[in-house]
Chains A and B, each alone.
Chain A
Amino acid sequence: MSAANNKALGTWFSLAAGALGLAALVLYLVWAPGHNALDPVIPWTLAAGILLEGILYFRDISFLGVAATACFSTAFFILLSRSVGTFVDAMQGIVMFGDASQLGIILTLCALMFLSILLSILSCFVKRRK
């Protein structure tokens, strides 16, 4: 309890970023293998980001926050890159380059990851300790 007492807004942003990253990781691992969409870089970078945000709860090392942003950003952009075909199909209303039926889950993952990045960046700007 006392450990939490000296935490400032930045820590809570970090934790929230980690939590959203975790949600994205779980969702991705549940979804991707069944849809031929598993890119190992995505879960590994998400896991690394979550770990770094976790460490930041205990140790206020600014570089770790930056590294966490980098991890989440990597996962996010790789997911986008891999989903180009799905976006094209969805926009054209066809089934060819990707799997437009999976667009909903891909957008959900993107939203979770993007929020993680946003919170991670915000946590870098504000104090983590009172």
Chain B
Amino acid sequence: MGKRIWAGLSSIFCFFLCFAIIGNSTAMNYATTINGYLGISTHMLVQDDSVGEGSTIQFPSAFGELSADNLKQLMEATYAQCVAEGNEGMVLLRNENRALPLSPEERSVTLFGHAVMQPLYRNNSAGSSAYSSKEGIDLFGAMKEAGFRVNEALLKAYRKSKTSRAGGGVNAQTGEPLPWSLGEEKIGFYTDDLRATWENDYNDAAIVLFAREGGEGIELTMKDTEGISQLALHQDEKDLLRMIRDSGKFKKTIVLLNSGNPMELGWLEEYGVDACLWIGCPGQKGFISVANLLTGAANPSGRLPDTYAANSLSAPASVNNSGNNQTWSNLEEVLKQSTDTPGEASYYAVQAEGIYVGYKYYETRYEDAVLGRFNADSAAGSTNGGKWNYTAEVTYPFGYGLSYTTFEQTLDKVEVSDSAVTVTVTVANTGDTAGKSVVQVYAQTPYGAYEQKNRVEKSAVQLLDFDKTKLLEPGEKQTLTIVCDKYLLASYDYTNLKGYYLSEGDHYVAIGESAHDALNNILALKGASGMVDTAGAPTQGSGDKAFVWQEKQDADRYKASAATGAPVTNRFDDCDLNYWIPGAVTYLSRSDWEGTYPVSPTRVECTDAMIRALNGYLYRKAENAPGLASFTQGANTGMQLAGLYGVAYGEEAIWEEFLNQLTIDELAALLPDMDGNAAIDTIGKPEVKVGDGPDGIGGLYNTYDKSRYKTKSEATCYTCETTLAATFNKELIASRGALMAEEAIYLGLMEIWSPGGNLHRTPFGGRNFEYYSEDAVMNYLCSIPEVRAMEEKGVVAGIKHCAGNDQENNRIGIALFFNEQAFREGALRGFEGALAVAKGSSVMQGFNRLGLTGCSASPALNTAVIRNEWGMQGIIITDATSSVTTGYRASYVDQLMAGTDSFCIDFSGVSAQVVRDRIRDTDDGALLGALRRAAKNNLYCTVNSPAMNGYSVNTKIVSITPWWQPVLRYVIIGFAALTALSLIGLAAAEIKEHGKKRKEADLHVGSKQ
């Protein structure tokens, strides 16, 4: 072969050699991901009875021994749970003339709306996608199963159509945001031929499915291509509804709302909609519930966990949050001095709404308007520009929901003690259909002179607790006793007392069919007049459904944490923008609605001091910090992790002795997470796997081991968390937690990153579907049973994303400013329930900053509150770090020192490398101490979880090299050999050519001579 061929071949093999070497290095970085996808285990267990006595750890399944048959039973139970959640969580919003349930004769229907062919089972994010498996069911399938005759001609037309709903995201070619698409058909789609299909048939009911989609990193838009909110009714939808109405063919029009976000619904009457059912995101089996509710096989008992505003932009939280985030007025200067990417350093949101999120705004302003005080009826914040009017602002209030029967609730008794308010309510089914009723208990605490002077804000009505009856037959009664925690009546005073206190004066509790109804009952007891009901009709309220008592101001009762006894005081002063720029923000106050309503976003400059704080990386070794010599590391005494099963977190001596066994490298190896972490064979620590997703386990390890269980099914996709909350059924919420934990046991998981504890701060939150509610107390009350149920089975519940990560827009790096009352009573409360009350042993932080400090680097959040006040014993993990090496997410040392224990999706182990290098380079014993703390938290969770199932002190872990790793090495060797051979060939050809040329030259010289 000639030189050129050898040169070309060498080039090609060089190219492939580079590919193999760099590819191998990349693959090693993603080894856990690859192993997960390939289902490869990296260790095996060997029994070695020489170590000592010890029982085998076993977190049992309630379904018996782990077997294929029992897994089937578990899967059936999860499907039944999903249907039960739908039956009890979907909310009937409108039911004119008892349009629902459909009679047995009404079984010939047409399903409208493109979403029929593109249902929103769940939004895009981590979590189970089992809805797409053969076990998943859509609306069409569920209706057929329920015995309906469905107009299939229209379905076929939808199937053929190229119309598609797009939830946003980015263009893979340009990186530009994708134009989202509502995904509804233009009216021209409905040809005469199609219209003829319902002319004489399939017209018992027109069932219209509308969807609204967001997702992880994808906020719903406040102003879309039609110039309106994504939550409003759009032109194609209006045309569709008009066509149905004007056809005059359908006996009934039923609208189904398929979304985790509340739509604006002021149009139902206008388009002649007879019934409207919010179905949330139904998950794998929830469409069966839709059919159940339409036929009356189930009676709706869901209640709204969000306010359905006529105009989603009328909420004060919409002024600064979601799509209205601001960039610093001196952005150029900030970016010049910033160590972050522009996306991480540019945005901020001032939560000027204070505590007034969701119904706390609408209902509080309503009370003040009724009582004619505080300029509540001014035009500020009014949707129509005129006097503020509740009926014009709210379509359906928090807690609202209809039933196919009627109930009468009687407030029997209220008992107030030092620690609790005990409410006894009798519920009677006064209708003709069996059903369940939700008892909602609300409270009002005084907004007096002290509060107004010290800027303590009060919601006019506040959910205190709830319960649900059993299925009550017509005429049947049930008495429920609800013990409400009085702590939830306390307010946080961040200006004067710097702690929680009970106000002086009249305290009210009331029951009601919604927050609005309960407030009307309180107003009735106050003797007020001029109230309106949900529909805007005058009402007197029912004073006999409310109760009043007096309290004296008490600043001592909640001065210390109930969980730990630690003092509760201001920790987040620097998260108030006024701390950095005095007078920069005026928080919304009910003392003057007109003067304090945030009519426009707060714009500020980022001062030099703020830029320094924004840049972070502030940790320096203290002068008096101990050196590494103060610690013993690598002194392996043969203690195995299994031996620490059941050893209390506070048994310091045992834990210290155990930690002394690990080397600094081994300690650091516990920091990075990649849906778990690797085995450490020296201490008998197994490989740990975790799952992700509040509505079903997703991630690398969410399919069952086929060789063991004869199925490779994914874990179940349940209804979205908002639907779960809407059940107002704590038993059902707990059984979700228990069943997910059962699935985790079968999957061999230590932890599930679930539930979600953030607020629906605005209706536009892209991940609202993964969070319970707009109401912080609802989050608190829901997170407790779910987390408790998971933890009782040994599975670590990792609630996310703590705290303030209430929007997807600019979530990475956004600086959030707020006052401490709003933060403690709002964003933190859901996490407080999970960690302080339910004793959850893990929490995932948010990407956002608290003030200017990232959640993960905040000692106030992680150490002062989560550890010291709430007493959390376990793992505090970041959101995905993605192994970044620059920017605020890469401040691994600062984050570790602030209380963070683990770095999520750090696939290449950057966090471990940075921390161990820093420890050694600076001889920093304080940092080593923090690393030991993090290791302890990791190991404590591991040893007390199903990850240890089958382990004893005699279990030895033997590492196994995954098959693909040697294969990749052989590929490198192969290409290296080919490259070397071709280079040798090239060299030989060069020598040959050189010799030939030399010969020719010699001949040339000879001929000349």
Contact = CB atoms under 8 A, between A and B. Distances in A.
Interface in B1-40: 3-8, 10-12, 14-15, 17-19, 22-23, 25-26, 30
A115 B1001 CA distance: 38
A35 B341 contact: yes
B178 A84 contact: no
Interface in A33-72: 34-36, 62-63, 65-66, 69-70
B173 interface: yes
B173 A66 contact: no
B343 A125 contact: no
Contacts of B178: 93
B19 A73 contact: yes
A70 B216 contact: no
Given A36-B887, A63-B990, A124-B10, 16 more contacts: A36-B341, A36-B884, A62-B7, A63-B986, A69-B15, A73-B15, A76-B18, A90-B170, A90-B175, A92-B124, A93-B124, A93-B217, A94-B169, A97-B882, A101-B176, A104-B176
A77 B25 CA distance: 11
B786 to A, nearest CB: 25
B217 A96 contact: yes
Contacts of A104: 171, 173-176
Given A77-B23, A93-B169, A65 B175 contact: no
Q: Which residue of A70, A117, A126 has the most chain B CB atoms within 10 A of its CB atom? A: A70
A23 to B, nearest CB: 19
Interface in A72-105: 73-74, 76-78, 80-81, 84-85, 89-105
B4 A34 contact: no
Contacts of A78: 22
19 contacts: A36-B887, A62-B990, A63-B986, A66-B10, A70-B14, A73-B14, A73-B19, A74-B22, A85-B882, A89-B217, A90-B175, A93-B168, A94-B125, A104-B174, A105-B175, A117-B15, A121-B11, A121-B15, A126-B4
B811 interface: yes
Contacts of B18: 70, 73-74, 76-77
B167 A101 contact: no
A120 interface: yes
Nearest to B216: A94
B124 A94 contact: yes
A107 interface: yes
Given A84-B26, A93-B124, A97-B882, A124 B11 contact: yes
Contacts of B169: 90, 92-94, 100
Contacts, number: 139
Nearest to B883: A85
Contacts of B887: 36
Contacts of B109: none
B172 interface: yes
B531 interface: no
Contact of A93 (B167, B174, B341, B885): B167
A64 B528 CA distance: 92
Contacts of A81: 22-23, 25-26
A81 B986 CA distance: 31
Contacts of A65: 7, 11
B175 A62 contact: no
Interface centre among B30, B125, B175, B217 (most CB of A within 10 A): B175
Say what secondary structure dominates the interface of chain A.
helix
A85 to B, nearest CB: 5
B682 to A, nearest CB: 31
Interface in A112-127: 117, 120-122, 124-127
A13 B171 CA distance: 33
B215 A94 contact: yes
List the 3 closest A-B pairs by CB distance, nearest first.
A93-B169, A125-B8, A94-B217
Contacts of B882: 85, 96-98
Interface string B163-201: 000011111111111100000000000000000000000
Interface centre among B170, B176, B990 (most CB of A within 10 A): B170
B812 interface: yes
A10 to B, nearest CB: 8
A73 B17 CA distance: 9
Contacts of B879: 96
Interface string B308-348: 00000000000000000000000000000000111100000
A124 B22 contact: no
B4 A96 contact: no
A16 B216 CA distance: 43
Nearest to B982: A66
B699 to A, nearest CB: 13
From A89, A94, A98, A107, name the one whose CB has the most chain B CB atoms within 10 angstroms.
A94
Given A95-B217, A96-B880, A121-B8, A69 B170 contact: no
A81 B4 CA distance: 31
B350 interface: no
A76 to B, nearest CB: 8
B175 A100 contact: yes
Contacts of B884: 36
B294 interface: no
Given A102-B175, A103-B170, A93 B7 contact: no
B15 A100 contact: no
A14 to B, nearest CB: 11
Contacts of B342: 34-35
B886 interface: yes
Contacts of B30: 84
B218 interface: yes
B983 interface: yes
Interface in B794-815: 811-812
A35 B18 CA distance: 25
B715 interface: no
A102 B880 CA distance: 19
Interface in B866-920: 879-880, 882, 884-887, 905
A101 B170 contact: yes
Interface string B72-109: 00000000000000000000000000000000000000
Contacts of B885: 36
Contact of A77 (B22, B811, B990): B22
Contact of A121 (B12, B19, B172, B905): B12
A104 B178 CA distance: 13
Most chain A CB within 10 A, of B12, B125, B811, B905, is at B12
Contacts of B986: 62-63, 66
A66 B7 contact: yes
A93 B811 CA distance: 14
A17 B217 CA distance: 39
A36 B339 CA distance: 9
A69 B15 CA distance: 7
A66 B983 contact: yes
User: Which has the most chain A C-beta neighbours within 10 Å: B172, B811, B905?
Assistant: B172
Contact of A124 (B4, B176, B343, B905): B4
